[in-house]
Amino acid sequence: MRLIIAEERWPIAGSFTISRGSKTEAHVVTVTLEVGSHLGRGECVPYPRYEETVPQVMAALAAARDRIEAGITREEAATLQLPHAARNALDCALWDLAAKRAGQPVWQLAGLPEPKPAITAYTLSLDTPEAMGEAAARAAERPLLKLKLGRDGDAERLRLIRRNAPRSRLIIDANEGWTPDTLDRMLAACADVGVELVEQPLPAGNDEALRSISRAVTVCADESAHGLDTLDRLVGKYDAINIKLDKTGGLTPAIALARAARARDLGIMVGCMLATSLAMAPAFLLAPLAAVIDLDGPLLLKEDRSPAIRFDGSLMQPPPPALWG
């Protein structure tokens, strides 16, 4: 087995802003595993919020080269001391390689339902209320809009967005930008305009207020939700969790997390970091298990890799086998 590690930069169409800051490119790491004529690939996004960086992930993978190239299995890969993003790229590359060698799709090998076309959320980057209202008008034909909030003026943002996109379903990502003192008021403002779900309204280390607050809107854990080890502490605070492969450490633990969440009556959202179709492809296999799909990363880039997942507006098609899986 030959390991190839690569760093890639994919420009964003404009900029992408959340409560923690802005970026103009998707900075990703890819893993390629080569065995004979077969190639398996995976992509990850090291995320500073989780104390992971591109150089750190590349160095960790390089340090594990000998074990990987000896013919590592998915079970063995899970025991490596790697950043979660690195483990994700490796795990997904191993799944892709297994599919290519077996001549079977990953969904069959993993015992998952066959993926079907599904609606993904389309994200509106955080901006002034007026600018977000204008962006909503341009995206008003999309059935599901995800709004990045988490700063002063969020109630006005909600009002203008709903006015300009009256038929779209709305979900919110506050990216830990609200406080316990503003939570009641902001959840009420969300309910007033028909928001269906709010992601991570409070900081991950300061979310106990969610245990005692009543709400008419589903509250979903993102920064508070990682792997199975974090799941039980979310019960009673959150109604759903956002599963991202860069947080779980790959498709293998993401499948286990999704099944465990359903057993605890937690709803499932499948999400992504800002990345290309190669990162969306394995996450899309969780779509049949999820109530909300947020895999619009490629739609926010200037260009995607080829071959790529096809998006018919917001309708996301299953990934082509030549891309992954």
- Nearest-angstrom CA–CA distance, 3 and 109: 23
Among residues 100, 146, 244, 247, the one annotated as catalytic is 244
The verdict on whether 148 is a catalytic residue reads yes
Query: Can you tell me whether residue 182 is helix, strand or coil?
Result: helix
The Cα–Cα gap between 255 and 74 comes to 13
Please tell me whether the peptide bond between 307 and the residue prior to it is cis, using omega within 30 degrees of 0: yes
Positive/negative CA dihedral, 87, 93, 97, 100? positive
Q: How far apart, in whole angstroms, are the C-alpha atoms of residue 50 and residue 71?
A: 29
Half-sphere exposure of 268 (CA within 13 A, CB side): 22
- Residue at token pair 């000998």: 66
Decide: 28 and 45 in contact? Cβ < 8 Å.
yes
Alpha-carbon distance 207 to 221, whole Å?
10
The single residue of 148, 237, 247, 302 carrying the catalytic annotation is: 148
Residues β-bridged to residue 33: 3, 40
Q: Is 52 exposed, middle or buried (0-12, 13-18, 19+ CB in 10 A)?
A: buried
CA-CA distance, 43 to 87, in Å (whole number)? 10
Phi and psi (nearest 5°) for 316?
A: -95, 125
The C-alpha R_g of the chain, in whole angstroms, comes to: 19
Query: In Å, what is the CA distance from 176 to each residue of 3, 168, 202, 213, 220?
Result: 37, 24, 4, 17, 11
Q: Which helix (H) or strand (E) holds 57?
A: helix 54-63
Query: Does the annotation mark 237 as catalytic?
Result: no
Task: Give the residue numbers marked as catalytic.
Answer: 148, 244
